[in-house]
Amino acid sequence: MLAKKVSSRRALEACLKEDPQFLLKELTPWIQDEHRASFQTKWPPISSKE
How many CB atoms within 10 Å of residue 36?
Answer: 13
Mean pLDDT of the chain: 91
What's this model's pTM, rounded to 2 decimal places? 0.77
Interval 2-34: pLDDT, tens: 778 899 999 999 999 999 999 999 999 999 999
